[in-house]
Amino acid sequence: MKRLPLMVAVLGVILLSGCHDRRAGVKTLLGDGVEQYGQKLPYDHWHFNFFYPANLPALVTMVYLEDGNIRETIYRRLDPTEPSQGSVGTWSQRVGGFPANFNIGKALPVRMTVCWDSVIDKKAYETEIWFSRETWQQMRTAYPDTYRPGNTYYRNKMIIGLAPEGKVRVWLKDNRNPVVLQHPARQFTLTGDDMLICKNVPNRIDFSYIEANGYDPFIRNFIEGKRYPYGNW
């Protein structure tokens, strides 16, 4: 994980996608949630982890995160992208567990760009997520813990699901309850020459090997008789 100064040249290309000018007063892409900037979280940090549906592997190669402290962080050392074993045909209401050792944020997330490789699609993707004020509110709210009466908890663990067709979902873990689906203010996925910051990020999956030799046996066995994208994601 590497923290970068504001407006560094390597991230200048991101600014072409219509984001804010910090010199003119901080705003999100949609001019929403300016009052959230600089607000301290009621806990020290939050975690995020990535999952893919059972037998449909994906791998995150880099993450760029801009947070409410106007801090930009690039994560190159990441926790493993894990399979959601209960997610077959659709995402499980539990998705997957934690903890995270490297995927840690210190302030409310404003924008996240995820560079990731999809084995099943044989291509790399770049997904950009602008978080909504509803997500920020949930992350700052203390909820009563029905499993431990008299205690409270926070939704301070974020789950990001990576599925075929480059589809991405975001949830907040809700104690021992089903995960809570989030609705970003804006989200889009790019691939190929359309990618911006992920274009020069090295793939960790050898797509040429897949093209030449096919999928691993466990993937072939799983998708046999099924139609792409092998579920509703």
Question: Where do the domains of the chain lie?
Answer: 2-223
DSSP 149-197: TT-EEE--EEEEEEEGGGEEEEEEEETTEEEEE---SEEEEEEGGG-ST
pLDDT at 97: 80
pLDDT on residue 19 = 41
pLDDT digits (tens, 9 = 90+) for 111-124: 999 999 999 999 99
The percent helix, strand, coil of the chain (3-state, each to 5) is 20, 35, 45
| pLDDT of 39 | 72
| 8 Å CB contact between 32 and 133 | yes
What pLDDT is recorded for position 164?
A: 98
pLDDT at site 27: 47
Number of residues that this document lists for the chain: 233
Cis peptide leading into 99, omega within 30 of 0? yes
The DSSP 8-state label assigned to residue 101 in this structure reads S
CA 97 to chain centre: 15
Residues of the chain below pLDDT 70: 1-38
pLDDT of residue 8: 39
Q: Both tokens of residue 153?
A: 């908890």
pLDDT score recorded for residue 34? 56
Q: Exposed (0-12), middle (13-18) or buried (19+): which is 148, by Cβ within 10 Å?
A: exposed
Stretch (H or E) spanning 223:
helix 217-223
Segment (H or E) for 213 = helix 207-213
Residue 79 phi/psi, 5-degree rounding, is: -65, 155
| Tokens (6 digits) for 105 | 């944020």
